[in-house]
Amino acid sequence: MTDPLIVGWAHTKFGKAEAPDTMALMAEVALPALEHAGIAPDAVDGIFTGVYNNGFQRQDFQGALVAMGSPELAGVPFMRTENACATGSAALYAAADFIASGRGKVALVIGAEKMTAIPIADVGGVLLSASFVAEEGDTPGGFAGVFGRITDSYFQRNGDRSEELAMIAAKNHENGTRNPYAHMQKAFDLAFCNTPSDKNPLVAGPLRRTDCSLVSDGAAAIVLAAPEVAETLTRAIRFRARAQVGDMLALSRRDPTEFAGAHRVWGKALDQAGLAISDLSLVETHDCFTTAEMIEYEAMGLAPRGQGWRVIREGTTRMDGALPVNPSGGLKSRGHPIGATGVSQHVMAAMQLTGDAGAMQVPGATLAGVFNMGGTAVANYCSILEREK
């Protein structure tokens, strides 16, 4: 497999956007990403969009919206992918397959979501359409309710880890203050994150508002190019690994505190890359809830099962730790526009590797891991990126 390289990107500031819909959001990143890559629109062979939708807006056929917003791309073949909260990675991997298969040499990948156009009270219901609706579709509190239960189970087995969750929240909020693309660029200290209050109420089970990612609008784009095209450009990031693993959707069919799919996909990715987790300079991981980041520490192999909480307590994943996790602030403070997230994570990692991460920069970053999941570790993607030039 001759995988294509990441040669350019663009990213909106996540948050409540003025752009009224995904068409407008995608238009904000499509041509800028190509310009960043130094590639003309007429050199694009395929467009891959990742949008969850299913209720966020009536307009679907989201692949067709890119050229509507950027007519320079009229005529280019396009498609849309969906894989719940891993929708963005699904688009990226489909585009990488497209180029590696020889069907094209340049692909434009755009993940986007407009979440704030519908009443906030309806957002939870849309998101639960990515759970196993027959069993989980009416969970009070939406996906926070699902993760509230997972957190409860985890605490029952491994002790109350509320403080460690708050430490993860405080870390990611602190990191987010250095990310100009983040929805929330404001620090919240451990005491605030750890203490339920009017401003930080309990949302579901032991989860406080600061344990939950945000409802955001946003788009992120990546340009992929075949090696012979990348050679002619100024910047190139290679996939040392890209691995994908599925797991059963229904939580009733497995132990939801295990994240077995996340374990397996990290194992596959590190194998493919011939690396150990300790070789990585940083990881961007899927912290839709702080509980997720804690369990993902276990999936990465940073701690045995049930002991992910030790990792944040020991400081390993802080900016000054051995393996900074979510230097971008993660979904927690960057925001989580569903379809955009997987693409955004890869952009954040790529910026680190080219030394363009500004105040977020992990000094001397050479290898970055990205973990993105749909559902509760149901659709699992893990990339390991390395700078080529």
Catalytic residue numbers, as ranges:
85, 336
Round to whole Å and give the CA distance between 158 and 255.
14
Nearest distance, CB of residue 76 and a second copy, angstroms? 5
Type of residue found at 352? Q
**Cα separation, 54 vs 82, whole angstroms:** 10
Report the interface residues with a second copy, using CB under 8 A: 1, 3, 46-47, 52-54, 58-65, 67-68, 71, 74-84, 90, 93-94, 96-103, 129-134, 137, 244-250, 253, 261, 264, 374-375, 378-379
Q: Residue 80 and residue 67: Cα distance in Å, rounded? A: 13
Helix (H) or strand (E) holding 227: helix 227-230
As a whole number of Å, the end-to-end CA separation of the chain is: 20
In whole angstroms, how close is the CB of 244 to a second copy at the nearest point? 4
Q: Cβ closer to a second copy: 105 or 171?
A: 105
Judged by beta carbon, residue 83 or residue 210, the one nearer a second copy is 83
Contact 313, 167 (CB under 8 A): yes
Nearer to a second copy, 245 or 294 (CB): 245
CB-nearer residue toward a second copy: 83 or 317: 83
Going 62 to 68 to 69 to 75, the CA torsion angle's sign is positive
Task: Return d(Cα 382, Cα 84) in angstroms, integer.
Answer: 15
> Per the structure block, which two tokens stand in for 211?
């344990």
For a second copy, which is the closer residue by CB, 127 or 311?
A: 127
Q: Which is nearer to a second copy, 17 or 312 (CB)?
A: 17
Distance CA 241, CA 351 (A): 18
**Local structure of 287: helix, strand or coil:** coil
CB of 94 to a second copy, least distance (A): 5
Q: Least separation, in Å, of the C-beta of 218 and a second copy?
A: 20
* Residue 15 DSSP one-character state: B
Length of the chain in terms of residues written: 389
Q: For the CB of residue 116, give the shortest distance to a second copy in the complex, in Å.
A: 18
Please name the amino acid found at residue 145. Answer: G
326 and 287 in contact (C-beta within 8 Å)? yes
Is residue 43 exposed (0-12), middle (13-18) or buried (19+ Cβ within 10 Å)?
middle
What is the dihedral angle through the alpha carbons of 37, 59, 380, 184, rounded to the nearest 10 degrees?
70
Residue 237 CA to residue 64 CA, distance in Å, equals: 28
